[in-house]
Structure 1
Amino acid sequence: MIQLTWQDYLKERYDGSNISASVNQVHAALADALKAGQIANDPALGFTGLGFREELERNGFSCNMAPTAPKKAKPVSPAPGMEANAQASETRSQDTPTGSDEGFDIDQAIAEMQAGTFETFAVDRGFTGNTQMVAAYQQNRDKTDPVYENLFRDNQGWVRKVAGHYLMRAKHTCLTYDDLVGYGNEGLMKAIERFDPEMGIQLSTYATFWIKQSIERNLINDGTMIRLPVHLVERLNKLFRLEQAQLKKQGKVDVERICAELEIDEHTYKRYKQIDKQFRATASLNQLIAVEGADGDELGDFISPDEELGLPPAPNPETEGMNEDVKRHLRELVAGLKPREAQVIRFRFGLDDDQPHTLEEVGQAMGVTRERIRQIEVKALKRLKNQMSRDNREDYTIEY
């Protein structure tokens, strides 16, 4: 029997790349086809939830995004040799999602998990779900045990879903979507260690707290150039949530009501807003910039000092070295001038303080008119040029 690739199977089954079924229904159909031997096994079939949806999109498929209850299907085993560690699972896609987190309700997602409408496919290792797998792992707590690896991998779809909730908050930081997922995985590891199978709740529900906490704390610690105290960031986040809720409900922000909710006065409210604007709205210089032909470039690569703000241009090492060499030779030449001429040249070309001065400034410093300084400069430069001609030296140019 000739086995199709899962991509060809889907195109044949759904008559093209636009699939009317949901992502979960597609996954269930592929599980049945794999069981029947109609398609070849593939590492992509080991993905679940959001991870599988991204795999579909990378292969040119689009599915019905309407929330429908998935068809129950026998779990799919990964292909032999498939990497089971978390890093391999995460690095399959370096694409950063472009969708916003608007409308995402974490509590609703948890409810879907508990109701069984958010389907996850456990790897078939003799376990019927996360709870049994955690119980088996906790008997010896051996992280090299395939049970731990399978448990960790099977929950990647949920970690990625929760991480997606923080995309907007990470927008102006140097953190990428993959960073958020990595931090979420740190929380998942804590949850696996601390979960009590006798609690009567699902691991996904319990792990959500740890995943969110890990992402939030790392956003605070690593997400901004200037780190703010955790308790202050939590207050700012609560203020932001209250403002957004009011804007959504009544179209405006009621400062008085927010102050009452946070138990602060109006002065403190304004101070919080000032801190938020000063420190949290600042984009990181390490923020990746998506520019065609500029892969891997960061924001700082495109920023030059603004002289209008009084910022000096960044020194160029090559230019600096050439300037020092030129200045050294000029000082040798100037030493042969008359004292008054030498002083004018040093002032005018900044040989002493790296700061060229105007005729007016030199005149004031030496107690003569700017015209007299100009005359002395012309005479001195003529002497220097004659000296350089005798020494077979080229004219010097100092760049600033």
Structure 2
Amino acid sequence: MKSPSPRGPRHAADRPVEVPKQSGSGKRPSRDATRRGRETAAVGSGKETERASIQGATADGDDGGNGTPAAPRKAVSAGRRDSYDGDTAYRLYLREIGEVALLTPAEEIELAARIKAGDRKARDHMIKANLRLVVKIAHDYERYGLPLLDLINEGNIGLMKAVERFDPAKGGKLSTYAAWWIKQAIKRALANQGKTIRLPVHLVDKIARMRRVSAQLEDLFGREPTDEELGEEMGITAARVAQWRSAAIRPAQLDAPIGDDEANALRDIVADEKQATPYRELEDKTVREMLEKMIVTLDVREQSILRQRFGYDGGEGKTLEEIGVQYGVTRERIRQIEAVALRKLRRMIEKLERSTKAPK
């Protein structure tokens, strides 16, 4: 079996990542890879929200028409009704995948040989035996913009690819090798679907690392770490931390329910800054009327120049040169006339302010 080669990212903005090589050198795997590769770890209750159906991976011969088990997204979405139903279905799913025994190294080698020979039952068996690994990794990417069960769906697709490419002759366990494919599938889904503004895959990975380090420091300090503390721990600047934090913010939906009873939506409490209040409209109207009374006291040419310069009558303001052409004078002469007219208006306003002051 040929050594796997990374496929190019779906989008040009995504950076290609080296596929982890299976090696029998006996080098100790990284702490992160080891932690991710523990498929024997018990799946915690976590945020039990829905059931991730794997009909394509568990049904013999169901290949979706292209030789790959059908993606479970549709089956998962169909189960979204309410919180109670989602919790129940999720627990049933965990119970279902927990009934499949984990594979021994000898069984992995045997199944891999059968898969290479085209045995679909062996392929399905290997997939089902490693579904708990997908659930474990998916929990690490919660709150990044996609529901947990969508993450499990994408992770299952990555697991299928890993099973098809796994070669035990190169050394290493399937769980360690599959963890890379699972995480790449999840991160690509987060980049493409998780946010209204799409983030590159490499940035999603950096934000995930930042959140892991932040959680560790929060446990250590008993409080949320500052950007400076987080940057020092990660070896980056505080400005870069702030930039990643900003990119990780999820946009809020105006129709999102708020409150315990969820009777109101966010749009009910968010003010429209562009919508003028009745008080502001009255104030603007009063100012316009007062300004109009002052402008009409100027001579005809001064009135015309001010109205054209500032678009007072509703049109767009004109340049000094444009008005100068109209009057047959230079732009400097128009500027002088404008300055004289503005000084007259300023004196009128100051006089009005003095007259309206309360007597001592």
Identify the TM-score tier after normalising by the shorter chain.
0.3 to 0.5
Greater relative contact order: 1 or 2 (C-alpha under 8 angstroms, separation 6 or more)? Answer: 2
TM-score scaled by length of structure 2: 0.45
